[in-house]
Amino acid sequence: MAGGRPIKFDKEKIAKAMLKWAAKDTSLNLNAFCTTHDPIIPPKYISEWARGNEEFSVSYEVVKAFLAARREQKLHAGALHVKAYDLNIAVYDHFVKEERREQKEHEIGLKTKSETESQDNFARKIAQAVNESDNKTRQ
């Protein structure tokens, strides 16, 4: 890939090849697809194409679903180490990713609410102290 003209990739062909590859029992990680494809595909291209092309995005999500299911099966069969599974679960498993996102948003909402309530309580205490000070001054 070094030097010469940039390689023109056919996203439609790559999407089909990626789906075919993902259906194989040995497919576990998208990096393997990228490095075994001819020509080799920089992994960032896959992500960029998925963000910028609806058809490619659908293929990409299906591929990740294949891989998520297979990785979980291999984990349960003892053929995949739990650490390897845990490190990439949110990459491949859409449902885990969404659940984690919702949980994080909920936690942020609770934190924001708590901080707002603390600020409101602080403001009330200051106002109360100012009022008490004014009342003492008038007496």
pLDDT in tens, 4-37: 778 899 999 999 999 999 999 999 999 999 999 9
- At 2 the pLDDT is 56
- Arithmetic mean of pLDDT, 50-76: 95
Q: Is the pTM of this model over 0.75?
A: no
Neighbours of 68 (CB within 10 A): 21
Question: Span 95-99, mean pLDDT?
Answer: 82
Side-chain-facing half-sphere of 64: CA atoms under 13 Å: 19
Question: Confidence band (pLDDT; 50, 70, 90) for 139?
Answer: low
CB-CB contact of 29 with 88 (8 Å): yes
